Structure 1
Amino acid sequence: MNLQVLDYSIYLEPLYLLIGFAVFDIIIFIIAIILMCKLRGLKNRYNIFMKGEDAKSLEKIILEKLDEIETLKVSDRKNKEDILKINETLLLTFKKVGIIKYDAFNEMGGKLSFAVALLNKKNDGFIINAMHSREGCYTYIKEIINGQSYIILGDEERQALDEAIGKV
């Protein structure tokens, strides 16, 4: 058998080639028109943005805004420092309170005596005990450190301390 090599050559007629290039040119032309319209819109927005005496007016506005930002940074830094000072002060303030009213001497009939415990966050503070009687009022104060007293506490004072600490 004799094998023949088939020669396939692509032959385009010039008319088809010319029509193809014309369609390609029309597509490119349409794309160019769309891009010019978008460019015109962008130029309009740019002109509106730059509107003013000159471009320096925009520069002036930007510099003013940068100054405002710097002022805000300084103010923010100062506020943070103030907040830290306030938080440190709050650690020392008396936040925990315990109050117990009682009748110190049974002859009075009313609960006119009291024990007040005032503590900070670390359970440091004091207890004031005011005992009322017919002869007068006697007031005592006892120091509290870490929720403990180095002086013996009475029952009412212990109750006021426990209430302030939150054990009750």
Structure 2
Amino acid sequence: MSKELAGMETILNVEADLLVGAVLLFVALLFVLWISNAIRISRMKKRYKKMMGESGMPNLEVLMTEIQEEVHKLRLENEQQRNKVNVMERKLKSMKGHVGVHRYNAFADRGSDLSFSVAIVDDELNGVVLSGLHSREDTYVYSKPLTNGDSAYPLTPEEKQAINQAIHKA
């Protein structure tokens, strides 16, 4: 039996040597993986510090939350500004900012160019035309409303000329 025991002891020694070798190989593999991960983590830390820069934030989650809040505020402000601009554009279009003035002599036999027609219109040609007829004794002023550049009242050639001047300024 001693031969058998010696054979078994040899087999056990070989198996123990293989087991120790496998454990050493496994430890070496774990050591290589540990070094590899340490290098990766070091690189990630460098990139993280570079990305965070001088923000003064200790963690990315806080920074991202603050950025999202700022973006939300900016979007709200942008929408408010857009609404204000739209209101101002509508008001601007309805303002009577285009003026045409035509001076003329209403009475060819006497006087000078003291009679006038003034057209005041908005972008849609709504507004008013004012005419002043000057004579030696009196001056008469008339007004006619304008809708789309025309009036429900008959327009004189001088009034039409003042309206055309205002239209060309529009």
Say yes or no: TM over 0.5: yes
- Per the alignment, residue 24 of structure 1 pairs with none
- Per the alignment, residue 122 of structure 1 pairs with 124
CA 1:142–1:88: 2 relative to 1, 3 Å: same
- Per the alignment, residue 22 of structure 2 pairs with none
CA 1:155–1:64: 2 relative to 1, 3 Å: same
CA 1:98–1:43: 2 relative to 1, 3 Å: same
Structure 1: how far apart are the matches of 2:132 and 2:37? 92
- Per the alignment, residue 111 of structure 2 pairs with 108
Q: Secondary structure of 1:149's partner? A: coil
What's the C-alpha RMSD, in Å, of the aligned pairs? 2.9
1:75 to 74, 77, 92: 77
1:138 to 132, 137, 140: 140
CA 1:47–1:74: 2 relative to 1, 3 Å: closer
The alpha-carbon deviation at position 68 of structure 1 amounts to: 1.4
Greater helix content: 2
1:84 to 77, 83, 86: 86
Letter in 2 for 1:97: V
The alpha-carbon deviation at position 116 of structure 1 amounts to: 0.8
Segments of 5+ residues of structure 1 without an aligned counterpart are 1-31
Taking every aligned residue pair, what percent have the same amino acid on both sides?
30
The alpha-carbon deviation at position 165 of structure 1 amounts to: 2.9
Q: Secondary structure of 1:138's partner? A: strand
CA 1:67–1:148: 2 relative to 1, 3 Å: same
The alpha-carbon deviation at position 75 of structure 1 amounts to: 0.6
The alpha-carbon deviation at position 37 of structure 1 amounts to: 10
Letter in 2 for 1:163: Q
Deviations 1:52-92 (A, max 9, x none): 6843xx43332222221111111111111112211221221
- Per the alignment, residue 99 of structure 2 pairs with 97
Q: Structure 1 runs of 4+ off > 3 angstroms?
A: 35-43, 47-54
TM normalised by structure 1 equals 0.63
TM normalised by structure 2 equals 0.63
Structure 2: how far apart are the matches of 1:45 and 1:59? 16
Conserved? CA contact 2:57–2:63, under 8 Å: no
CA 1:71–1:54: 2 relative to 1, 3 Å: closer
The alpha-carbon deviation at position 157 of structure 1 amounts to: 0.9
Q: Secondary structure of 2:68's partner? A: helix
Segments of 5+ residues of structure 2 without an aligned counterpart are 1-32
Structure 2: how far apart are the matches of 1:103 and 1:50? 78
- Per the alignment, residue 147 of structure 1 pairs with 149
